[in-house]
Chain A
Amino acid sequence: MRQTPLRSAYENHGAKVVDFHGWALPVQFAGIIQEHQHTRNKAGLFDCSHMGEFLLRGHDAAAALDRLVFSDMINLRIGLCRYSAILNDQGGIIDDCVALRLSEDTLYLVTNAGPLEEVDALLSGTPGVENISDDTAKIDLQGPLARDILLGAGFEALRTMKYWNGAAMTWEGHNIVVTRAGYTGEVGYEIFVPNEAAVPLWERLVAHPNVAPCGLGARDTLRTEVGYPLNGEDLAADKTPLESGMAPLVKWEKDFVGKAALETQRDAGTHSVLTAIRSRDRRAPRHGFDIKQDGTVVGRVTSGTFGPSVGYGVGLADLPRDLSKPGIELTAGPRDMPIETASLPIYKDGTCRKKFDA
């Protein structure tokens, strides 16, 4: 298994380490629910160094990304992040991604670990594209206190940073990139640092009394409660953006790989839709459960877990379009657990959009 630069640092904090897409990563430290609550109430620290990062310099590099995604990456304004997905010829999702316009001629692209080789093969032939994943660690600090903690740790430049913005800056002499984004629904920052800065930054933040180290387990419960999809679970190469809750994001006026397939699907209008679901009690729907309506299979659970902040089971499911509106009663799994469709986000008290004055 590959190790991130933080492996030795978090082993000192009682990490239970698992194999995630070939990477040795912590699934939990003190316990998933405790870490989840700590992130919702204070701040959680996550090692996401397994993820992919690319620098795209110049027009050709930006254009190479732009033709693979359904969003406009050419006209993205400096300082803004944009969520999108990299598609195959059939319009299926190879990976979801976030791009940040760092400067007039530079995009910073963040991708997932699983499909990194495939994404690299699609992009790296183009001049100006540099895969910096092996040299870059990614540390997320997420939670309502994340901003105060970072302001006290030398991150003055993010004092006025707005949600879904990002910038290059320096920390302790290292050139880094920070975005105000995340995977939890809370105020949060994703901090991209050169490998040699990873342990100093982790140690600095984890020493703060309001910071708890968190693993993949809490990351999953936090993201599921707010309905963020996970590539490989909710998103897949045989599912399109229209089937994955991304229809409002698709820029139909531009060209991109897979567009023809998406147009055909849009015009037919019979595709399934990734839909939020919840259970009635503490039982959780699980990935792969069949969903039934009046005893007939109508869909499938793609993600499901107990939601510690809401107190019941939460998840995402592929469902026919007419069953994708909230409040429809269905059953899931071998024991026909009662569930219903829900509106997103299921957990509605997340702080991620909070505005801060200087």
Chain B
Amino acid sequence: MTPDTLRYTEEHEWIGELNGQYLVGITDFAQSQLGDITYIELPDVDRQVEAGEEIAVVESVKAASDIYAPISGKIAGINGALDANPELTNKDPLGEGWFFKMTDVDVTELDALMDVSAYRTYLETCS
């Protein structure tokens, strides 16, 4: 995924469309703040989730952090490679380190999320 085409949440998650499904992950800023990621607990496939619902947990050496559904919809699949290699999210947060994909979404909910320029401005307030 390229940063320009994604939408972002204040919790430093990204969501982007790929072949009719919406991939979700965490940003480079998020992975660098977490440090070495050691475990990622992902939601069950086919689960219906609401925007803002806590649906996953990322553990790093330092701490455990909740992951929220950026918009409402159905969990259509998860990134099974993270089970054995959670460090993929450190290495490639917008690519191989994606978390889960969603379908049955209301695309208008994306309008409430930040675009890349808004997110970059937001990042300046975070560090």
Contact = CB atoms under 8 A, between A and B. Distances in A.
A286 interface: yes
Contact of B62 (A32, A282, A335): A32
Contacts of B57: 335
B61 A282 contact: no
Interface in B54-88: 57, 59-64, 86
Contacts of B60: 306
A221 interface: yes
A264 B61 CA distance: 39
Contacts of B41: 283
B3 interface: no
A217 B39 contact: no
B61 A217 contact: yes
A32 B86 contact: no
Contact of A217 (B35, B59, B64, B86): B35
A269 to B, nearest CB: 36
A282 B35 contact: no
A28 B38 CA distance: 16
Interface residues of A, number: 17
B38 A217 contact: no
A284 B86 CA distance: 14
Nearest to A220: B61
B61 A306 contact: yes
Interface residues of B, number: 13
Contacts of A217: 35, 61-62
Nearest to B38: A306
B96 interface: no
A286 B60 CA distance: 11
A250 interface: no
A282 B57 CA distance: 12
A33 B36 contact: yes
B61 A32 contact: yes
A28 B33 CA distance: 12
Nearest to A281: B39
A345 interface: no
Interface string A286-307: 1000000000000000000110
A284 B59 contact: yes
Nearest to B62: A217
A324 to B, nearest CB: 25
Given A217-B61, A306-B59, A306-B61, A282 B36 contact: no
A306 B63 contact: no
A305 B61 CA distance: 6
A306 B39 contact: yes
Nearest to B84: A282
A28 B35 contact: yes
A282 B38 CA distance: 6
A32 B59 contact: no
Contacts of A282: 38-39, 59, 86
Contacts of B36: 31-34
Given A282-B86, A283-B41, A31 B63 contact: no
Interface in A22-55: 27-28, 31-34
Nearest to B35: A32
Residue of A31, A282, A305, A308 ringed by the most chain B CB atoms within 10 A: A282
Nearest to B40: A282
Minimum-distance CB pairs A-B, first 3: A306-B38, A282-B39, A33-B36
Interface of A: 27-28, 31-34, 217, 221, 281-284, 286, 305-306, 308, 335
18 contacts: A28-B35, A32-B61, A32-B62, A33-B38, A33-B61, A217-B35, A217-B62, A221-B61, A282-B38, A282-B39, A282-B59, A283-B39, A283-B41, A305-B62, A306-B38, A306-B61, A308-B61, A335-B57
